[in-house]
Structure 1
C-alpha cells in the first residue's frame, strides 16, 4: 500500500521546465555571446551541469522581453555605427529646418503684401485729395486763402505730407516727359533747352512713384544750335577745298 502511494505521488509531480537563454547579448556584462553550435565542445557545460538547468534570476525572461532585442542592435553603415534613434533624430532635424525656412518665407511674403496694401490705400486716399489741393492753390493765387479756410487748407496739406506725398513742378524746371504733361508750347531765345515755364497744375509723387504728372507749358529754344561743319575730305582735290584760290602762274 505504501508503495502504491509513493508511485502516485511521483506521478502527480509537475514536469520540470527548463528555460534556455538564447539572447545574443549578455544583459549583465553587455558582451556578445557565442551560439551553442559555434561554442567549442570543451567550453560547453557538461550534461547535468546546473548552469543549463538552473538559469540565473535575471535570465528567466522570455526572448521577446529581452532588454536588447536583435532588431535594435546597432548596424554599421559606412564604417559608422548608426542606430535607429540617430536616424530618426536626423530626419526630425531636416523636417524642422524645412519648416523653419518655409515659415520665414511665409513671413516675408506676408510683410511684403502688407506693405503693398498700405501703399495702395495711401495712394488712393491721396488721389482723392488732389482736386481739393488744386482748389486751395487757386484760392492762394487769388489771395482768398485767409481765415478759417486757410486753417482747413493747412490741415489738408498736412494730410498729404503725413502720407509722404510731395508736390513738384515749378516754373523753370527742365521739361521731363515722365514728370510733366505739356499742354502749351512756344519758343524763346532765353532758354537753351525745353523748359517748363508755366505750371497750370502741380504734380504729386510718393517716393519714386509718380501719382500725378504736372500740367505745364513748355518753351523751346528759338534757334537750335548749328550743327558743326564737317571737315573736308582728305581725298578731295586742293582746288575743290574751301578757301583754296587759283594756283599762281
Structure 2
C-alpha cells in the first residue's frame, strides 16, 4: 500500500471503502447453483422441524392439563368417599354429641378445616331459595310461587365450582312479608 503522504484524496476514499466491512464480495457462480439446489431441502427440513416442535409443545401442554385433571379427579373421589362421614358428624351435632371440649368436636373441626382448605363448601340451608340444579326436592309443600328450602335431609357440597352432591330437601313457600 501507499504511505499516507503519497495518497491523493481519491485514493483515500478507495482505501476506506476496501477496509469497510459493508462491502459485498460476489461469490463464484458455481456455489450459487449449489445453494439453489440445497435451499428447497433446507426449507423443507426447517418446516418439518417447526411442525415437530409445535407437536411437542402441544403434547407438553396436554400432558400438564391431564395431570391436573387427574389430581382434581382423585381429590373429588376422596371427598365423595368422606361425605358420609360428614353426614354422620352433622347428625351428631344435631343430637348434641359434638360439644366443646369433646374429642369428637376436635376431630370434626380438623376434618372440616382440611376439607375447607381443599375448597369443599357445604350448601343447602333451610330458607335458601330453591334451585333445581343444586337441590333435589323430595317433597313440595308449597304453591310454587316463591319456593324456598324447608327441611334439609342431606346437605349438598361443592368442590371448587363443581357440584359433587346435590342437597336433598323439601320445598315450601317463602314466608309472607309483613
- Give TM-score, length-normalised by structure 1: 0.53
1:73 Cα deviation from its structure 2 partner: 5.5
1:192 Cα deviation from its structure 2 partner: 5.0
Change (3 A) 1:194 1:90: same
The whole-number CA distance in structure 2 between the counterparts of 1:96 and 1:149 is 63
Q: How does 1:57-136 map to 2 (within 5 A)?
A: 74=33, 82-136=35-89
Which residue in the other structure is 1:213 paired with?
Answer: 166
The whole-number CA distance in structure 2 between the counterparts of 1:192 and 1:177 is 14
Report the aligned-residue RMSD. Answer: 2.5
Aligned length: 147
SS for the counterpart of 1:83 is helix
Which residue in the other structure is 1:18 paired with?
Answer: none
1:162-197 per-residue CA deviation (whole Å, 9 max, x = no partner) reads 322111111111111111111232138xx9501112
The whole-number CA distance in structure 2 between the counterparts of 1:133 and 1:73 is 79
Q: How does 1:164-183 map to 2 (within 5 A)?
A: 164-183=119-138
Structure scoring higher RCO (CA < 8 A, sep ≥ 6) equals 2
The whole-number CA distance in structure 2 between the counterparts of 1:118 and 1:100 is 27
Runs of 4+ in structure 1 over 2 Å off:
82-89
Which residue in the other structure is 1:15 paired with?
Answer: none
1:200 Cα deviation from its structure 2 partner: 1.6
| One of 112, 121, 125 as aligned partner of 1:157 | 112
The whole-number CA distance in structure 2 between the counterparts of 1:208 and 1:180 is 15
Structure with greater proportional helix content? 2
- Unaligned 5+ residue runs, structure 2? 1-26
Which residue in the other structure is 2:15 paired with?
Answer: none
- Unaligned 5+ residue runs, structure 1? 1-29, 33-67, 76-81, 223-249
- Give TM-score, length-normalised by structure 2: 0.72
